[in-house]
Amino acid sequence: MRIVSVVGGKAAEDTSAAAYDSVNPARTADIVAKVRLADGATFAWACSVASAAQREWEKVPAPVRGRVIASMGRLVEANAEELARLVTDEIGKPYAEALGEVREIVDTCDFFLGEGRRLYGQTVPSEMPDKSLFTFRVPVGVAAVITAGNFPVAVPSWYIVPALLCGNAVVWKPAEYAAASAHALYRLFAAAGLPDGVLNIVFADGPATSTGLEAALEEGTVQKVGFTGSTAVGRVIGELCGRHLQSPCLELGGKNPMVVMPDADLDLAVEGALFSGFGTAGQRCTSLGTVIVHESAHDAFVERYVRAVAAAKVGDPRGDVLYGPMLDHRFAERFEEYLGWLQPHHTVVTGATGRITTGNPRGDFDGAGGLFYHPVVVDGVRPGDRLFMEETFGPIVGVTTFGGLDEAIALANRPGYGLSSSIYTTDPKAAFRFRAGVGAGMVSVNNSTSGAEAHLPFGGNGRSGNGSRQSGMWVLDQFTRWQAMNWDYSGRLQKAQMDVAEI
C-alpha cells in the first residue's frame, strides 16, 4: 500500500521528499504501507486550504453537520472489522482491543451527532431595561490535530469529530508508524459527505510538522492545536502556541497510580493491574505506572500479581493475547532505555530477571523478529527513582507500599503527572478522600486506570497536560469560542455601569 497526504480532497503527490515504511511490529519484514512524507511547506499550505474551506463549512447549519457526523459513525461501524485488522497489523494492538478502539470512534460520533441540534447559546439578563444579552458558540477556525499512534484512530476522532461538528476545518498529522490506519479512517470520514478541504491529512515527521505549524500559526491559518503524545513534545507545542497567544489542547503522558487499600478485593485489584499495566503492552497514556499497596496487603498482592503476569499470554496480536509487540522500533529502543533505570534496591519479580529479548518472550515468535518484550514487575520502587517518577511507556509496572491513606495520596501525586488514577477499596470514605486528594483528571474506584468512556471528560493536569479536556460536552469549549451580543431596543444610548436602573 502506498500512501500520500490528502489536501483539499486531492492527493498531495509531488510535494514530498522523504519516504517512510510503516512496518508490522509483530513481523518486522512486513511493510504495511509505504508513506510519502510531506515537508513543512506542505503542512502550512494544507492549513491555508483548510482555512478557505472552513469559511464555507461554518455556514452549513450545525444540525446538518451533525448528520455528516452520523454518516461518519455509520461508515466506521460498517467497516469496523477491516479497520481493526489494519490497526492490529500496523501497530500490533491485539484484535479485540483494536475492535474496541474502533467502537470508541462510533461512540464519539453517536455522542456528537446530537450535539449538532444543541450547540446551545444563552440568553442573559441585562442590567438595563429594554436590552437583551445573548451568547453564541462560534467555531475557532482551523484545528491542527497531531496524534500519537498507540490509539491511531480513536484518539484522533476525539478531536476531529467535535472540531468538525462545531464548524471547524481540520489538518490531521497522524503518527508515521500508524499512517495506514490513519489513512483508512480519513477515507471513511471523507466519504461521509465532507466538502473538500474541511478534513485534510498530512503525513510528516516531527521537524517538518513543527516548521509547518510555526508557519501556519504565523500566517494565522491555525486557531487551535490538539496534540496527544509525550510530555516533552507537548512542552514544545505549548511554547509555540503560547508565542501566538493560543492555548492548545494537550493530552500528554502519565505515571498513573493504583492504590490498593487493606480492605481491597485483591483478585479484582490484580485483574485491574494486569489489564492497565500490560494491556496495549503498557503503551497507553492511561497505563498503570505504580501500584501503591498497603504494607499489610503487599506480599499477598505481589504473589497473586506475579502469578497472573506469568500466566498471561504475550504474542501474535491477531490471537487471544494480553498484549503484542511494541508499537514500532523507536518505542522498543526507548523501552530498553527505561529498563536501564533498574536499581540494586529493586526486585524484578517477573520478566526473566529483567533480561530483555527482542524475540518472543515465550519462544521465537514465527522467527519474524517481532518487537516483543517480557512483562516486568519491579518491586521496591520509591520516590526519587526514575522508575517511580517517569512515564515508562511499555510493559513494566512498579510496586511500592504505604501505611496510611494520606501517604498513599502523596505517593500517587509525587511524580507530578495527573492523568488517570485508581483506588481499590470497599470503604467509600477512602474512595472519596482519594478522589479529593489525588491530582489526576480521572479517578477510578475498583477499576483500572485505563478504559475511559467517550462521553466523560478525558484529560490531565501537571505533566499530563494543560488542563484541557477531550470527550463529551466539555470538549465544545475547545473547538468553539463564546461570542457575546447585546441588543438595545430602548431607543437611547444606555451606558453599562453608568445607567444602571434604580429601584
Interface with ligand UN1 (CB under 6 A): 150-151, 155, 228, 284-286, 450-452
CB of 185 to ligand UN1, least distance (A): 15
- For 32, phi then psi, to 5°, come to -80, -40
Which ranges constitute the DSSP H helices of 313-421? Answer: 329-339, 386-389, 405-413
| Rounded alpha-carbon distances, angstroms, from residue 433 to 402, 404, 443 | 16, 12, 11
Bin 295: left if φ > 0, else alpha if -120 < ψ < 50, else beta.
alpha
> Cβ 173 to ligand UN1, closest distance in Å?
16
Q: Which residues pair with 111 in a beta bridge?
A: none
251 classed as catalytic: yes
Residue indicated by cell numbers 504475550: 314
Nearer to ligand UN1 (CB atom), residue 68 or residue 155: 155
- Cell 463564546 sits at which residue? 482
Nearer to ligand UN1, 251 or 316 (CB): 251
Q: Between residues 255 and 284, which has the closer beta carbon with respect to ligand UN1?
A: 284
Closest-CA residue to 473 (of 453, 456, 461): 456
User: CB of residue 41 vs ligand UN1: minimum separation in angstroms?
Assistant: 29
Distance CA 101, CA 105 (A): 7
CA distances from residue 38 to 31, 207, 229, 461 in whole angstroms, order as listed: 19, 11, 20, 33
Between 62-78 and 80-91, two packed helices, what is the crossing angle to 10 degrees? 70
* Contact by Cβ (8 Å): 240, 213: yes
Cα separation, 160 vs 320, whole angstroms: 31
Cβ distance to ligand UN1 smaller for residue 15 or 157: 157
Query: Rg (Cα) of the chain, in Å, rounded?
Result: 24
CB-nearer residue toward ligand UN1: 236 or 368: 236
- Taking the complex as a whole, the smallest distance from the CB of residue 149 to ligand UN1 amounts, in Å, to 10
58, burial (CB in 10 Å: exposed 0-12, middle 13-18, buried 19+): middle
Instruction: For residue 415, give the nearest of 459, 448, 384 by alpha carbon.
Output: 384
Compute the CA torsion angle 25, 280, 396, 322 (nearest 10 deg): -100
Using the minimum distance from each CB to ligand UN1, give the nearer residue, 286 or 468.
286
Catalytic residue among 251, 337, 390, 502: 251
Residue 3 Cβ vs ligand UN1, minimum distance, rounded to whole Å = 22
Q: How near is the Cβ of 155 to ligand UN1 at its closest, in Å?
A: 5
**Shorter beta-carbon distance to ligand UN1: residue 15 or 449:** 449
| Minimal distance, residue 89 CB to ligand UN1, in Å | 19
Residues annotated as catalytic are 251
